[in-house]
Structure formats: structure tokens, C-alpha cells
Chains A and B, each alone.
Chain A
Amino acid sequence: MKKNAIAIEWKKDFRRNGTLYLMLLPVIAFYLLFCYKPMYGAIIAFKDYSPRLGIMESDWVGMRHFKAFLTSSDFNRVFGNTLKISFANLIFNFPVPIIFALLLNEFKDGPFKKTVQTISYMPHFISLVVICGMIKTFVGSNGIIGSLVNRVTGSTGSLLMQPDKYVPIHILSSIWQTMGWSSIIYLAALSGIDPQLYEAAEIDGAGRFKKMVKITIPSISITIVTLLIMQVGRIMSVGYEKIILLYNPLIYETSDVISSYVYRNAFETQNWGYSTAVGLFNSFINLLLLICANTVSKRITDSGLW
């Protein structure tokens, strides 16, 4: 009886929304084909995949690939580098836009502020490949940065051939490219602060610094915390595209991260099952971090991603 009622309800729903579902079909097809089918395809992490046999026919190997990765000599390197580059990014790249926004906010709206802002956005519009091309020529042995650093530290050759220079190059170039753009959101939060707060503080004799500490920073702290937590949730997905563009075998020890390792193992040594397992390991940790970050965020700011 109850089952019947549900069936009738669904029938009604389909009669009412049939055309809507039909209309949604291409969107559903897109998600099935390009998002859910790859998720299903991820089972090759537990198989000895060969392109000739296909996903279904390949033999099961259980957790062999995962074990192989966790015990391999590469594990420490790629896992460590992933964390190192991500945390360095978080520590150095995250506060810069905030400071920039705070300083810029001290200017009155006008052509000066507008110009500085427009120029600071510019690098955001240069494509990653071109940015990496620029980095490569700048830090080359003849480039403006490369020749200077080499003279100071007494090293020779392109900085991209020296393992100890990779992380600074990665982080500094990211700051250069994203600083202005990331500051937009803070500037927006700053412009939303009620000017009466400042006026009241001025009457009470608060100076510029005091106003910044007591009014400005608390007003944007929720924005800061939310963005910080989102960043933490993205720790494992370091900007691997940039790494794949810039790195080379000489500096694997400091630049090789999980995603670049996955890419190499699949497309260079054809270890499909193994690299899928490594990738899955990465997404799994990422998901865990995201869930943790979201829980913390809900506790602290009462808002989360879901």
C-alpha cells in the first residue's frame, strides 16, 4: 500500500516534470560521462590494468599498488614535497594579499588606488604556460634573477637546475601572480565596513594603527578564516601544472609532488594501475582534510562549504 503511494507520487512527479528531466538530460549525461565514469574507472587502482584488456577484463590485484607506493623509496620524497610546497604556499602566499589589501585600503578612492589595483591584477591574466616561460628565462644562467642570485651565492647554471632553489621560485612567482587578484575579496570586505565605526573611534582618540587593529582586522576576520580553511582543504592539490612545466630530473628531490609522480608513472612508464592508486591516495587524503577543515570552519565561523 505504502509502496504504491510512493510509486504514484513518483509517477505524478514524472508527469509534471518529465520535460524538465528531458531538458536536463545533456547535463546529466555530461556528469555521468566525464565525472562519474572516471570515478568508476578509478577501480583500476585495484587492478593490473592493461589498455588492451580494458577496465573490466584486467585482473584484480587488491591493495598491491597501494602497498607498493607506501613502501617505495619515492613515497617520502613525493609526499614530503607535496606537504612542503603546500605549507610554504599557505604561510607565505596567504597573508600577502591581506596585507596588500590593508595597505591599499588606507588610500582614498581615486586614480592612484585604481591604478595600483589594476596593475596588481595584471599578472593574473597571463597564462600559466607563459608565466613558466618567463620564470624559465628569468632564472636562467643569463636571466636577470638567475645571474644575480648566482653571483651572490656563488652557484652556476640555471636556478631551475639547483634543487634548493625550486621552492622559493615556486612560491615567489605565485605571490607575484596572485597577490593582486586575491586581494579583491579582502578589499570588498573592507569597503563594507561601516565608516561610522571609524568616526566614533577617532572621536575617542584612536590612532591609525589602533583603528586597524581594533576595527579593520576584526571586521574581515571571518573572510580570512573562511579562505584560510578553504586553502587548508586544498593542501594536497598543489599547483602541479606549474611543477610539471618547470621541473626536471635534476631537481626531482625538491619539486616532485604526488600529482607529477602520477603523471610520470602513467604517461612515461605506462604504470596505469599504480599511478591511479597513487592518485586515489592523494584525493582520499584531500577529501579527509577538506572534511576536517569544514568541521573546524563550522565550529569557528558558523559557516562551511556545506
Chain B
Amino acid sequence: MEIKIRSRNNIIKKKAGDRCFDFVNCLIMLAITVVMLYPMLYVVFASFSDATAFMKSSGLLYKPAGFSLEAYKLALGYPMLLRGYINTVFIIFFGVIIGIILTSIGAYGLTRKNVKLQQFLNISIIITMFFSGGMIPFYITVKDLGLTDNIWSLILPSAVSTFNLMILKVSFASIPDGLTESATIDGAGHFTLLFRIIMPVSKATLAVLVLYYAVGHWNSWFNAMMFIDDRNKYPLQLVLREVLITSDTSSMTAGTSDQEFIGETIKHAVIVISTVPILCVYPFLQKYFTKGVMIGSVKG
């Protein structure tokens, strides 16, 4: 009898402890959510703020300080931003197409059977993941090819990511032989095999790689800093660097009355303009991204 009561007490205690844990855990998660979200919200609030009111308020913002669309007007009127967007879209478009084609061909070649050079090629490619000539020889190579100050210098030298190639290799290797064998008997050549059979079967992985390449080109700025001098060829990230890091907003604020102050709100507006499109699209693509992490963790 006594034992029974004690064990029941234990259960009740445990449940109370559980509930306590759940409650604290919930609070932690809410805190994390706030910490994750607030900096982004702050940027949005700041971008809609009135420049002078924003400068006077230091500390947290719970809504825009004052309200003004001036920052957006000036930021959107800045031609370099649009230029950068266009250049980046160009880079992503061709970068993704070239990247996917080369990666598919490479993965195909590395997964065929009875190819004597395969082992050698495979090792040569994997080596590049762990060792490279370094930043300067890479720069000199691109320069010697005459690609500097050319937008293609941001597409070709970074066309293939070996990591992505390895992901695709694993995916291609998992396709059952029967599928390709029957097509070969029907007389299909390599291109037909790759583009008509293997790639359609691997659509899911390819979708992940499209995203990876696109994001890679979208985020990339370092190569552009090395290779591009002509400001008209700047990708968006380099324009953003000018505005946000070297703090050059003077060309946007020229002629406005409170020139000194408005620079800060403009920066926030520029962040919003350049980031919101991505953040709006990404919840819909999230499942592909997470899937990519999974595939990537399966080592090839």
C-alpha cells in the first residue's frame, strides 16, 4: 500500500517536473525566436524611420521612429542598386545553367562503369576540395586569361563546386543500372542517357543544386572585389558593400537637407530592399534546402 502511494507521488512529482521543464524550454525557445527576429525587425523599423528622429533615439525600437519613406525614395533612386541587381541576376542565370550542366556531365562521367580514367579523374577532382593554389595564384590565373573586369570572371572560375559535384555523384550512383542498360540497348548515346534519363530521375537533387549554385552566386562578393574595377559591372553584393561597409551614401544623399542623418536610414532601407526578396521566397524553398543538408551529410 505504502509503496503504491509513493510511486504515485513520484509520478505526480515527475509530471510537475516535466511541466516545469516544458515551461522553461518554451520560454527559451521564445527568447531565441525574439533574438533571431528582432535584429531583422529593427532594420525594417529603422528603414521606415524619420532620419532625425532615428538619430535621436538610441536603444530599442518597437516601431519606426517617426515615419518617413524618404530613405526608400533615395535608395530606390540610386541607379547602382538596380545595376547591381541586374548584374547579379545575369550572373545567377548563367552561373546556374553552366554550373548544372558541367556538374551533371562530371557526375555522369564519374559514375559510368568500365571507364579506365575514372579513378584518376575522381582523385584529381577530390584533391581540389582539400588543397588549392590559394587566393593570389587564382587571381593571377584569371588575370592571365584576360577575364578581369569582365562579368564572366564571376561566372566561369566559380562555375563548378566540387562539393555539389560529389553530392550529385552520390545521387547518380544510386540510380539502378537496369534503367540505363535498357536505354543503351535501344541505342541511346551518352547525351540522351544523361539528359533524357538520368537527369529527369535525379530532379530532386538537381533542384537542391540549383538552389545551392544560385545562393552561392547571390552571396559571392570576394571574387568581384578582386576581379572587377568597372563599377557598372558590380554585382549587388559589391554595391551593398560600398553602401553598408565603406559607408558611402553620399551619392544618394546629395542635395537632401538633412544629408548627415539620412545616410543611416538609407542603409537600413538598402538592407531591406536587398534581403526581403530572398526572405520572402525562402520559406517555400526551405524543404529543398534542408534536403540538401541531408544529402550533403551522406559522404560520397
- Chain A contacts to B: CB under 8 angstroms: 9-10, 13, 16-17, 19-21, 23-24, 26-28, 30-31, 33-42, 44, 51, 54-55, 100, 103-104, 106-107, 112, 115-116, 118-123, 125-130, 132-134, 136-138, 142-144, 147-148, 176, 180-181, 184-185, 188, 207-208, 223, 241, 244-246, 259, 262-263, 266-267, 272, 275-276, 279-280, 282-283, 287, 290, 303, 305-306
Contact = CB atoms under 8 A, between A and B. Distances in A.
A87 B40 CA distance: 28
Interface residues of B, number: 92
B215 to A, nearest CB: 8
A10 B39 CA distance: 62
Given A38-B138, A125-B279, A207-B14, A24 B130 contact: no
B245 A129 contact: yes
Contacts of B5: none
Contacts of B237: 127-129
Interface string B242-266: 0111010000000000000000100
8 residue pairs, one from A and one from B, having the closest CB atoms = A133-B244, A38-B133, A41-B137, A279-B134, A38-B137, A13-B116, A27-B106, A39-B133
A133 B42 CA distance: 13
A23 B244 contact: no
A246 B244 CA distance: 11
Given A13-B117, A38-B138, 14 more contacts: A13-B114, A23-B191, A34-B142, A40-B137, A103-B28, A119-B36, A129-B240, A130-B240, A132-B245, A134-B271, A142-B58, A188-B293, A272-B140, A283-B132
Interface centre among B134, B215, B238, B283 (most CB of A within 10 A): B134
A144 B62 CA distance: 12
Interface of B: 14, 17-18, 21-22, 25, 28-29, 32-33, 35-37, 39-40, 42-43, 55, 58-61, 102, 105-106, 108-109, 112, 114-117, 121, 124-126, 128, 130-145, 156-160, 189-191, 215, 218-219, 221-222, 226, 237-238, 240-241, 243-245, 247, 264, 267-268, 271, 274-275, 278-279, 282-283, 286, 289-290, 293-294, 297, 299
